[in-house]
Structure 1
Amino acid sequence: MSQAVLEPEAAAGRGMDLLRFATAGSVDDGKSTLIGRLLYDTKTIFEDQLEAVESASASRGDEYTNLALLTDGLRAEREQGITIDVAYRYFATPRRKFIIADTPGHIQYTRNMVTGASTADLALILVDARKGLVEQSRRHAFLTTLLRVPHLVLCVNKMDLVDWDKEVYDRIADEFTSFAAKLDAPDLTIIPISALNGDNIASRSDKSPWYEGPSLLHHLEHVHIASDRNLVDVRFPVQYVIRPQSTTVTDYRGYAGQVASGILKPGDEVLALPSGLTSKIASIDTADGPVEEAFPPMSVTVRLTDEIDISRGDMICRPNNAPAVAQDIEAMICWMDESAPLRVGGKYTIKHTTRTARTVVRGVQYRLDVNTLHRDESAGELALNEIGRIKLRTTVPLLADEYRRNRTTGGFILIDEGTNRTVGAGMIIEAR
């Protein structure tokens, strides 16, 4: 079996940064073909995989190698020609490593799209040049801005089918730019491509001399993501307390977890919540030994100069920069349960950072039509894939920030207490 030129594991060893991006678009806009093309052009597929795809394409009578077969892994996806589940793919170039979330385009799989985009640094939305912007294009753009994805790329695909007409590209670009302005969209880039033929994917194509921007891969390699991280608000949710049971180590007490935001250094004064006790960082340990600073998304063990009562679910932060300690939460939520809607009075388990509590729905303020952005204030419940603003009351305080300020401490999931299924994903608007 032939190895790829540069596998993600090898790239990781070189200390390169990681870009997570999600693809979205309407059905048949070419998402799976685009991802297959990226994998093919970066030589990150095995020879036997390519041979299998070529054989399958030939048996189907396809004129070209159907690169979508590299990602449409479910039998139902191949039969229907659509993406259903979130498919994660990995590849790397000499400059950066990537994780792709190939998310479904169909409206009935909105929950899957929310799942894939929730951790993305960049969202890539495809539009068929022949069709222009459609309802699902606008819906996906809204969802990516709702999830606070920092970078947005619109790929006008299938430009070869409109003879690389600049007027077609300009019309779609202008329409999308106007719509994105209403959503407070962040960094926006628009690229004309042909995923099937590879034009403007790995390198600039001579078929679009009027386009002066970068190829898609060049943009993915160079988009600046370091400043997207919140390095101001120190948030360290404690996941585990380390107390070795060794007779030779009797005084070690460390608090393990992943840095959600901010920068931690030995000597820094910190505040432990919800106790309100203060201390200083004595050291920061990792699997490779102590470090002089920790930043997101590093997983570390923090030792303090004082022995104070801290346990799983607590949070270490700065004395003058702390999250809200709140039991009343207002949030936007995407409902994911197909068996029962979210109703006022419903009781669930809420998972927020490393803290778990019980919560009750105090109210549904409105249901949002993600296609028209209309707010239905008469709605009393949220059904599968619907999004709305709700009020929650928790049994114990959450240590929370607004989602727009911190995606980690501002996000949560709701879990059905009977089945233990995740039934909702929420973004905190206000905590008090």
Structure 2
Amino acid sequence: MAHLDDLIATDIHAYLRAQENKSYLRFITCGSVDDGKSTLIGRLLYDSKLIYEDQLASIEKDSKKSGTQGDKIDLALLVDGLAAEREQGITIDVAYRFFSTDKRKFIVADTPGHVQYTRNMATGASTADVAILLIDARYGVQEQTRRHSYIASLLGIKHVVVAVNKMDIVDFDQAVFNDIEVEFRKFAQDLTFTDIRCIPMSALDGDNVIRKSERSDWYQGPSLLEYLETVDVDSASLDAPFRLPVQWVNRPNLDFRGFSGTVASGTIAVGDEVIVIPSGKRSHVKEIVTYDGNKDLAREDMAITLTLTDEIDISRGDVICKTDAPSEQADQFQAHLIWMADQALFPGRQYILKTGNKSVPATISNLKYRVDINDFSEVAANTLELNEIGVATLSLSAPIAFDPYKDNRQTGAFILIDRQTNATVGAGMLDFALRRARNVVWQDLDVSKAARATQKLQKPALLWFTGLSGSGKSTIANLVEKRLLDLGRHTYTLDGDNVRHGLNRDLGFTKADRIENIRRIGEVAKLMVDAGLITMASFISPYIAERRMARELLDDQEFIEIFVDTPLEVAEKRDVKGLYARARAGEIKNFTGIDSEYQPPQSPEIVVNTVEMTAEDAAEMIVSYLTKNGYLSPQDD
């Protein structure tokens, strides 16, 4: 691998200094399947003489086995490294490659074109400055072209190269190129691109990739590499407000306390006044410490440790800003979401929202609409499926420091994580904080939950009865409340059927509606526990995630999960309402245990086996549990 630079031979140290000071450009290749993305990157590396000799020999050997270009070298194999990619001739995962020229250093992400792997494309685009969107000259703008363009725009990419590839197959016909350019520009006029450059090329033969091609003498613009070497992507980010998300409090000894992280945007200098979000504490920068010594100035993408002139409390999750432009903070937002999981998104379900340096529980309060990427229209939707894009409102358990994504791609981005599997299920861009999140605050009340509970001579709790329909939940809950009433306790029962006559009468039995049903019940039960009551909630509540959400609304030891463990065949025999029979006949859809799953509790406080004990015995066991654990007044033990 070599650079055409005389300094390599004459002054290696000067050459290395020149390389160190060159700017970086991150770009992606995207577009439909078989448009030539991997081949284009391979051509860039090959024609720039940036391939090791042993690597080239390996590619020549693999081309004979897995290549698609006959006797020619299949340059796509340089980035399609997975066995499945080579067998199928497609890109599956995001492949990153580094290379440099005499003018610039590059990190390129080769992203897949298949709809199935759209989430991988979004991952690659999230850090890119430029998108190279390949279009097959024979087919023009395709659905995946539109989808990738929309995602690139959504993720804040301002510069896009429309690489009209395989022009050799259409004899470099200028009319074909012009038609595609007109169609794309018309389609993209509502996107946020500030720079669209269309280039006719043949990635296979190298036309207009490294240098201008004689076969397209009618094209007067730059080659692809010439464009990439000169496009300006640095000025906007350096002008942005300074943001340092704190990743680590660096305290190696008693004499040093610094705050470490990677600069998300802007610049900072020694002596600058800073403010910490969310505390609002202010100080001045004393030192800027880096791995190769102290600096007077730091800029975006630098890993630094700041020391301050004052001892103020800062921890991981905080954001250090300059005082002239601090970030916002809020706990409710509107955001764009790209759904990346096979399991659909469900409003009301709780996920973990993770920003660059902070993780908080979050709920999709409302899915406002899904975006039709063909015409950008807003489509009403209850859920988002894999690779779909939508706009939703989110509610967080705690405020976070943020900037709207359009202003800062680092502090305006987040991912959603499934609480059970820890898998990343969505990527999002914060649009703005909801006005009500800024105006609505907690009202301090003089009468506390403890005071209400003391008055009632009991410890408040939520007894959450879960199990299949017909398991006996409501019967046992009713008996427990009667027994507690006999003991002079203050109680209330929330029953699944009863609340659907009023509070939840607008909900059906789809998975999304079931999740919202339990979310509402959880909030109502929380208020009842706050009132000092011992509350019974009898609901099938089939999903672990929603039962966990209800548990986390309460304080420790206030949520008592009671699993009414009844086998399906036993529940069906008890079918006093005839629901199982109707579900088996297809008259009732989404019925738990038949065509909708039930997820049993993993570690409930109480397990009731209704096959081995009567409802009365089960109720007595639950009351005994409450007595033993101090929920009832000692004099009534």
The TM-score bracket by the shorter chain reads over 0.9
Give the match for residue 144 of structure 1.
152
Give the match for residue 311 of structure 1.
315
Shift of 1:5: 4.2
1:186-335 pair list within 5 angstroms: 186-245=194-253, 250-335=254-339
Q: Deviations over 1:132-176 (max 9, x none)?
A: 111211221111111111210000111111111111111111111
Q: Is the Cα–Cα contact under 8 Å of residues 11 and 97 in structure 1 kept in the other structure? A: no
How well do the aligned residues superpose, as a CA RMSD in angstroms?
1.8
Distance 1:11 1:78 in 2: 39
- Using structure 2 for the length normalisation, give the TM-score: 0.64
Give the match for residue 423 of structure 2.
421
> Letter of the aligned partner of 2:368 in structure 1?
Q
Q: Is the Cα–Cα contact under 8 Å of residues 11 and 96 in structure 1 kept in the other structure? A: no
Distance 2:266 2:59 in 1: 45
> Letter of the aligned partner of 1:48 in structure 2?
D
Partner SS, residue 294 of structure 1: strand
Which one of 407, 410, 413 corresponds to residue 408 of structure 1? Answer: 410
Go from structure 1 to structure 2 and tell me whether the alpha carbon gap of 1:89 and 1:232 turns closer, same or farther (over 3 Å shift).
Answer: closer
Give the match for residue 557 of structure 2.
none
Shift of 1:62: 0.6
- More displaced, 179-188 or 110-119? 179-188
Shift of 1:228: 3.2
Distance 2:249 2:19 in 1: 29
Q: Deviations over 1:388-430 (max 9, x none)?
A: 1111111111101100000000000111122111111100011
1:25-424 pair list within 5 angstroms: 25-59=31-65, 62-245=70-253, 250-338=254-342, 340-377=343-380, 379-424=381-426
Distance 2:36 2:389 in 1: 26
> Letter of the aligned partner of 2:37 in structure 1?
K
Q: Is the Cα–Cα contact under 8 Å of residues 229 and 261 in structure 1 kept in the other structure? A: yes
Distance 2:363 2:146 in 1: 32
Q: Is the Cα–Cα contact under 8 Å of residues 231 and 295 in structure 1 kept in the other structure? A: no
Q: Deviations over 1:241-294 (max 9, x none)?
A: 11123xxxx331111111111221111111111111111111211111111111
Partner SS, residue 398 of structure 2: strand
- Larger Rg over CA atoms: 2
Q: Deviations over 1:210-242 (max 9, x none)?
A: 111111111111111111315231211111111
Q: Deviations over 1:275-315 (max 9, x none)?
A: 11111111211111111111101111111111000011111
Percent identity reads 51
Q: Is the Cα–Cα contact under 8 Å of residues 6 and 44 in structure 1 kept in the other structure? A: no
- More displaced, 58-67 or 131-140? 58-67
Distance 2:387 2:359 in 1: 24
Shift of 1:48: 2.1
> Letter of the aligned partner of 2:163 in structure 1?
C
Partner SS, residue 297 of structure 2: coil
Q: Which has the higher contact order (CA 8 A, sep 6+)?
A: 1
Q: Is the Cα–Cα contact under 8 Å of residues 230 and 406 in structure 1 kept in the other structure? A: no
Shift of 1:112: 0.6
Partner SS, residue 336 of structure 2: strand
- More displaced, 30-39 or 49-58? 49-58
Shift of 1:384: 1.2
Partner SS, residue 216 of structure 2: coil
Partner SS, residue 363 of structure 2: strand
Distance 2:389 2:96 in 1: 24
> Letter of the aligned partner of 2:55 in structure 1?
Q
Go from structure 1 to structure 2 and tell me whether the alpha carbon gap of 1:171 and 1:363 turns closer, same or farther (over 3 Å shift).
Answer: same
> Letter of the aligned partner of 1:186 in structure 2?
T
Distance 2:422 2:4 in 1: 39
Q: Is the Cα–Cα contact under 8 Å of residues 259 and 299 in structure 1 kept in the other structure? A: yes
Question: Which structure shows the bigger proportion of residues in strand conformation?
Answer: 1
Q: Is the Cα–Cα contact under 8 Å of residues 12 and 97 in structure 1 kept in the other structure? A: no
Partner SS, residue 197 of structure 2: strand
The gaps in structure 2 that reach 5 residues or longer are: 6-14, 435-637
Q: Is the Cα–Cα contact under 8 Å of residues 6 and 94 in structure 1 kept in the other structure? A: yes
The gaps in structure 1 that reach 5 residues or longer are: none
Partner SS, residue 160 of structure 1: helix
> Letter of the aligned partner of 1:129 in structure 2?
A
Q: Deviations over 1:375-394 (max 9, x none)?
A: 112x1111111111111111
Shift of 1:102: 0.5
Distance 1:276 1:56 in 2: 59
> Letter of the aligned partner of 2:363 in structure 1?
V
> Letter of the aligned partner of 1:420 in structure 2?
N
Distance 1:98 1:180 in 2: 26
> Letter of the aligned partner of 1:334 in structure 2?
I
Q: Is the Cα–Cα contact under 8 Å of residues 6 and 92 in structure 1 kept in the other structure? A: no
Distance 1:6 1:124 in 2: 25
Q: Is the Cα–Cα contact under 8 Å of residues 238 and 299 in structure 2 kept in the other structure? A: no
